[in-house]
Amino acid sequence: MNRTLITDALTVPAPGADLTVAGWVRTVRISKGGFCFIHLNDGSCFDSIQIVADKDLHNYETEILHLTAGTSIAASGKLVESPAKAQRVELHAAEVSLIGTCDGEQYPIQPKRHSFEFLRTQAHLRPRTNTFGAVARVRNAVSAAIHDFFQSRGFLYVHTPIITASDCEGAGTLFRVTTMDPAEPPRDDAGNVDFAQDFFGRPTYLTVSGQLDVEAYACALGNVYTFGPTFRAENSNTPRHLAEFWMVEPEMAFADLTANADLAEDFLKHVFTAVLDRCGRDMEFFNERIDETIIETLKGIIDSQFARISYTEAVDRLAQADRKWEYTVEWGNDLQTEHERYLTEEVFKVPVIITDYPAAIKPFYMRLSDDGKTVAAMDVLVPKVGEIIGGSQREERLDVLVQRMGQLALNPQDYWWYADLRRYGTVPHAGFGLGLERTVQFATGMANIRDVIPYPRTPRSAEF
């Protein structure tokens, strides 16, 4: 079939062409007087095309009059200007052929408003709805923009492993990867499970981050990034967490925290610009139906200068705020959601980059500052979603790194190769991690992260 994408059909400058479109029926309005209107969507764009089918078509009585939502059809005919206002062009069908029937009584997706909760139980069919089609296109645009941004700046795309043996980065609980029979695992003489007999000859897990691996490539190739799925076995039940999600992690050699923050700010602006440019119609929809401020918010961020304050300044501001905090504000305590939201939503009203956190509440790989109390860490906070980026300048001094591991009761043996990067030609370097789903969530205004990934994995939920 030589089909024309509906997005192309709707945007041809001068109608008049004969063409064929194919897709899934959204609605059918029948005129017993002699024709019917079929709205057809093929996912190539937000809008459906209107097909006008006349009673003279050979299958008008037998098939066309019985079309229901969800049916797949192909239609050929002439594209003409529409006499009505709601659409610029429409297809006058010379032929409508039924491809796949769809029992209207059984089909779960109706031309009406469904709850997102219900649509989650129909994850295989929900991309046929306006909202989830739009989310899929925005997610694609964000992914492409991520690659555009880094590729255009000479960053090398590095594929870090999904299966990993490092098990203690402090980034959350891991999923174990094994081929052993859980009912009867091999055991050693002491009766303990013997992972030496497992597939890899040692315990292995799904990665929680590609950072440590990608650092090695930064310390050879300069500027790099990894972009792939990551896994956290945390029992987190919130609209902002998934057990499986995608993360982008750039890493720059010969770079400090300021360069890192600059990169993060440019990066977010680039991504949101691309979304507005490439998904205009989808974004109009989100602005109409999901969050009436979303386009304004994205434009505001693109034009804004991100606020940058140190953790110490943030604590001061929170302590002086005329407000009761549920969690005590005190230097040394981590900032809570209520604090982060206050800063980004009420004080600055733009994204905020908070830097220089206390060393005690951050992982071993972050660079210890000269004050001996803080590390060169940064979080980028955005309104509603909260933390969207976390990053740091890495500790490049071997002695300090080993000392920090000791303080956190980590075994340097487990990180021998990571330490090697400091042992052989060490350089200052920095990077960050950005959650893809949180970015899509923020860009679309979707309230629940489970609705911006095709098949969400959360505690007790892995259907599909």
Please pick, from the candidates 31, 140, 151, 293, the single residue that binds RNA as defined by CB under 7 A: 31
| Collapsed DSSP state (helix, strand, coil) of residue 19 | strand
Q: Residue 310 interacts with RNA (CB under 7 A)? A: no
Residue 140, by phi and psi: left (phi above 0), alpha (psi -120 to 50) or beta? Answer: alpha
What lies within 8 Å, CB to CB, of 35 at 6+ separation is: 52, 53, 54, 55
Q: Residue 68 interacts with RNA (CB under 7 A)? A: yes
Phi, psi of 180 (to 5 degrees): -75, 150
Angle at 353 (CA atoms; ends 351, 358), nearest 5 degrees: 145
CB of 26 to RNA, least distance (A): 7
Binding mask 115-144 for RNA (x = CB under 7 A): x-xx-x--------xx--------------
CB of 160 to RNA, least distance (A): 15
When the beta carbons of 198 and 261 are compared against RNA, the nearer one is 261
Of residues 41-60, those binding RNA (CB under 7 A): 50, 52
When the beta carbons of 195 and 366 are compared against RNA, the nearer one is 366
Q: Residue 33 interacts with RNA (CB under 7 A)? A: yes
End-to-end CA distance of the chain: 30
Question: Which one of the spans 215-223, 266-274, 366-374, 430-438 is the region binding RNA (CB under 7 A)?
Answer: 430-438
Structural tokens at position 367 = 């660079």
Structural tokens at position 348 = 């600055």
Residue type, 71: T
CB of 29 to RNA, least distance (A): 4
Sheet holding 163-164, edge to edge: 163-164, 204-206, 176-177
Q: State the Cα–Cα distance between residues 296 and 302, nearest whole angstrom.
A: 10
When the beta carbons of 247 and 343 are compared against RNA, the nearer one is 247
Please pick, from the candidates 11, 62, 238, 411, the single residue that binds RNA as defined by CB under 7 A: 238
Residue 230's alpha-carbon distances to 99, 223, 249, in angstroms, are 39, 21, 11
Q: Residue 237 interacts with RNA (CB under 7 A)? A: yes
Q: Residue 62 interacts with RNA (CB under 7 A)? A: no
Of 281, 283, 285, 282, which Cα lies nearest the Cα of 298?
283
Please pick, from the candidates 9, 49, 247, 352, the single residue that binds RNA as defined by CB under 7 A: 247
DSSP state of 11: H
Phi, psi of 391 (to 5 degrees): -160, 180
| Collapsed DSSP state (helix, strand, coil) of residue 92 | strand
3-41 burial code (b ≥16 CB/10 A, e <16):
bbbbeebbeeeebeeebbbbbbbbbbeeeeeebbebbbb
Q: Residue 194 interacts with RNA (CB under 7 A)? A: no
CA-based Rg of the chain, rounded to a whole angstrom?
Answer: 27
CB of 418 to RNA, least distance (A): 17
When the beta carbons of 61 and 296 are compared against RNA, the nearer one is 61
Question: Which one of the spans 9-17, 83-91, 151-159, 190-198 is the region binding RNA (CB under 7 A)?
Answer: 83-91
DSSP state of 461: B
Angle at 436 (CA atoms; ends 433, 442), nearest 5 degrees: 110
Q: Residue 232 interacts with RNA (CB under 7 A)? A: yes
Q: Residue 261 interacts with RNA (CB under 7 A)? A: no
CB of 355 to RNA, least distance (A): 14
Q: State the Cα–Cα distance between residues 7 and 4, nearest whole angstrom.
A: 8
CB of 399 to RNA, least distance (A): 25
Q: Residue 337 interacts with RNA (CB under 7 A)? A: yes
Please pick, from the candidates 365, 433, 443, 445, the single residue that binds RNA as defined by CB under 7 A: 433
When the beta carbons of 351 and 386 are compared against RNA, the nearer one is 386
Question: Which one of the spans 102-110, 138-146, 396-404, 405-413 is the region binding RNA (CB under 7 A)?
Answer: 102-110
Of residues 388-407, those binding RNA (CB under 7 A): 388-390
Please pick, from the candidates 5, 7, 12, 27, the single residue that binds RNA as defined by CB under 7 A: 27
CB of 187 to RNA, least distance (A): 27
Q: Residue 212 interacts with RNA (CB under 7 A)? A: no
Q: Compute how many residues bind RNA; rule: CB under 7 A.
A: 74
When the beta carbons of 338 and 420 are compared against RNA, the nearer one is 338
Q: Residue 367 interacts with RNA (CB under 7 A)? A: no
Judge contact between 21 and 9, C-beta under 8 A: yes
Q: Residue 102 interacts with RNA (CB under 7 A)? A: no
By residue count, the chain amounts to 464
When the beta carbons of 277 and 334 are compared against RNA, the nearer one is 334
Q: State the Cα–Cα distance between residues 123 and 186, nearest whole angstrom.
A: 38
